[in-house]
Amino acid sequence: MRGEPDLAVLRALGRVGAGARASITPGGSMSPTVVQTVVFALAPGGGTPGPVVLGGEALTNDAMRGEAERLGAETAFVLPAAHDGCAVRLRYFVPRHEMEMCVHGTVAAVTVLAARGMIAGGALRVETPLGPVAATCEPDDAGLAVTVEQFAPTFGPALDPAGTDAAAVLDALGLTPDALDVAKGPLQAASVSRAKLMVPLQDWGVLDALRPDWEALWAACDRLDVTGFYPFTLRPRAPGRADAEARQFPRRAGYPEDPATGVAAAALGAYLVRHGRLPRAQGADGWAAVRIEQGHAMARPSALTAEVRVGRADRIRTRVRGRATLEDVVQR
């Protein structure tokens, strides 16, 4: 099925929308099946791998982690929902351990399930290890557009640029202080599900040139209680196409870098609003959007849209929008 348009792949794998079941029930178990997808691709060869395993209830925790290790990517496992009002339950594993949330895995799983007629299109709720999240999937001429909402953001203290913590961050990334763009915001942890350290840089050239010391980076993650670094710049290589460009270096995930990271993109959107770099309202629906590109340094160009809405009492909501391309189906 490689190379076919998204909508053709969706139709080949199953129906979207009408007639679909509203949820996956415990009685509807199936043998584990791996569906390979690519999520958030900006161009051919881009995006992040998003394997989806149907019939995850048949696997033990060790088997799920082993499957993610075999696949070499963060993997979404589909199980029947246990929480009232949820259409499906998802668990996420990287090669080394389970993750509490994975946006690109959620986009991939919702796309696969809608394509196979296993969930209805439109609005739904997805059960995750952190609790239920709202999602939408709507067909259009390009396939399925999926939006995944995240949790209320939290922020760590801003790091003193001259302090020991900031020095450890710079050392781990091989940077000098002049590479930072602290006028855009501080070195600061931000989380909408998993905490990421926001690292503002001068431009995309500095971003591309990063060559981290992995052990030092992971030690700094431990010290700062974050699950990865998210260096970014508001001076991307294609300013007419993107508002920001970023890279994501996860802590001991079993691979050193992500081509596209939804939880970090949503956290960046909240961070930009907090520091006055993104309007509090932009669209007619009150959501402000930031277009983020990632993966260029890995030759896997990716594009995500993070959306932020500020409500009463300055309550911030975030969500991420994107697409998955379905590629291969493998019966285990």
Interval 104-126: pLDDT, tens? 999 999 999 999 999 888 999 99
Mean pLDDT of 171-189: 97
What is residue 147's predicted lDDT score, i.e. its pLDDT? Answer: 97
In terms of CATH, what superfamily is 6-145+324-331? Diaminopimelate Epimerase; Chain A, domain 1 (3.10.310.10)
24 compared with 147, residue with greater pLDDT: 147
Beta strand pairing call for 131-140 and 302-310 = unpaired
Give the three-state DSSP class for 49: strand
Q: Which two tokens stand for residue 255?
A: 């691979």
The packing angle between helices 164-173 and 214-224, to 10°, is 150
Smallest CA-to-CA distance from 43 within 300, 327, 325 is with: 300
Give the three-state DSSP class for 50: coil
Q: Which two tokens stand for residue 98?
A: 């389970």
In whole angstroms, how far apart are CA 227 and each of 18, 42, 61, 162?
Answer: 40, 25, 21, 23
What is residue 28's predicted lDDT score, i.e. its pLDDT? Answer: 52
What is residue 192's predicted lDDT score, i.e. its pLDDT? Answer: 97
Q: Which two tokens stand for residue 203?
A: 């431009």
Q: Which two tokens stand for residue 329?
A: 């189906």
At 68, which helix (H) or strand (E)?
Answer: helix 61-71
Mean pLDDT of 65-69: 95
Q: Which two tokens stand for residue 330?
A: 């493998």
154-314: CATH topology = Diaminopimelate Epimerase; Chain A, domain 1 (3.10.310)
First to last CA, the chain: 19
Delimit the CATH 3.10.310.10 region(s) of the chain. Answer: 6-145+324-331, 154-314
Which residues does residue 148 pair with via DSSP β-bridges, in sequence order? 135, 320
